Structure 1
Amino acid sequence: MKNIFVSIDFKEQEQLLLDKAFELAKAFDAKIWLVHIAAPEPDFVGYGVGPQYVRAMRASELREEHHLLQKYSQKLIKKGVESEALLVQGATVEMIIKEAKKLDADLIITGHHDHNFLYKAFMESVSNGLIKKSKIPLLLVPLI
């Protein structure tokens, strides 16, 4: 195992994912790719770009998310594991699979959130989507 892809969603529980990725990367002398899939650009989902303040606010959010990813990556590097941070925009499940293939990932690590009945009835979770579509092995970390 040489490349571990870690999908970070910034829901305040990413440390569990980082710890598991670190443990595996140390054991296999692997590189960790920390990746956050941000919501797609408004044009992608059929809406106009909107006023300048909305674009500026979105750009600021993306900069903050990328900065946080880089901070996590630097902590892993200081602990002796090769790491890089990427922020990509698009549909979450599809982009995770696409980027993991592009990075030649041997394993995808992502969190699993338990959702209520209504969410399950109308939405598919990222972890379920990955289970159905990914050909790359997955490690789902339960997030409480």
Structure 2
Amino acid sequence: MKNILVAVDRPKYANQLITHAVQLAKFTDGKIWIIHVSAANPTDLLSREAGPQFIYDKRTEDNQKSAELIKQLALDVVTQYNIPAEGILIEGPMVKSIKKIVKEQNIDLIVAGHKKRNLILELFTENKKKDLIDELQIPLLAIPLVEVK
């Protein structure tokens, strides 16, 4: 496993996921790719007219903060553990965006968090982890997330 992708959804769980990726990277002399996938702002004029400007401005600000955080997390991995790492913010649909980076960077393993959810909610929402496994045909390590206080 030379390329390990850490998919960060919520920053408060990032260190739990990165810790597992670091352990694996040490054994394999691997590189860690830390990514966060966020919703993209529409670029065409008609879509932008559909909503107030402050929504787009807030999303842009949030994406900038997320990009800075992801890059800092990667820098921390490099400085603390001496493991090559890169942090990338990707805008777009989650499964499609992860699929693209997996192909571009020859990712061997995805490390993602898992949080127990309400059974009723799961019946009516998509299972993104299952979609990733089906689409990518590479291993997915699901880490049970523990609430950080």
Determine the structure 1 residue equivalent to 2:140. 138
Shift of 1:125: 2.9
Matched, 1:21 2:46: no
Shift of 1:42: 4.1
Q: Contact (CA 8 Å) 1:8, 1:110: kept in 2 or not? A: yes
Shift of 1:123: 0.5
Aligned length: 142
2:47 aligns to what SS in structure 1? coil
Determine the structure 1 residue equivalent to 2:95. 93
Identity of aligned residues (%): 32
Runs of 4+ in 1 over 6 A off after TM superposition: none
Unaligned runs of 5+ in 1: none
1:48 aligns to what SS in structure 2? helix
| Alignment-mate amino acid for residue 109 of structure 2 | L
For residues 57-89 of structure 1, give each alpha carbon's deviation from its aligned partner in whole angstroms, at most 9, with x where no partner exists.
111100100010011001100020100011111
For residues 21-73 of structure 1, give each alpha carbon's deviation from its aligned partner in whole angstroms, at most 9, with x where no partner exists.
111111111110001110233469xx822333222211110010001001100
- Change beyond 3 A, Cα 1:25–1:39: same
RMSD in angstroms over aligned alpha carbons? 1.8
TM-score norm. by structure 2 comes to 0.86
Determine the structure 1 residue equivalent to 2:60. 59
Unaligned runs of 5+ in 2: none
Determine the structure 2 residue equivalent to 1:48. 47
Q: Contact (CA 8 Å) 2:7, 2:36: kept in 1 or not? A: yes
Q: Contact (CA 8 Å) 1:111, 1:127: kept in 2 or not? A: no
Q: Contact (CA 8 Å) 1:17, 1:110: kept in 2 or not? A: yes
Shift of 1:11: 5.0
1:36 aligns to what SS in structure 2? strand
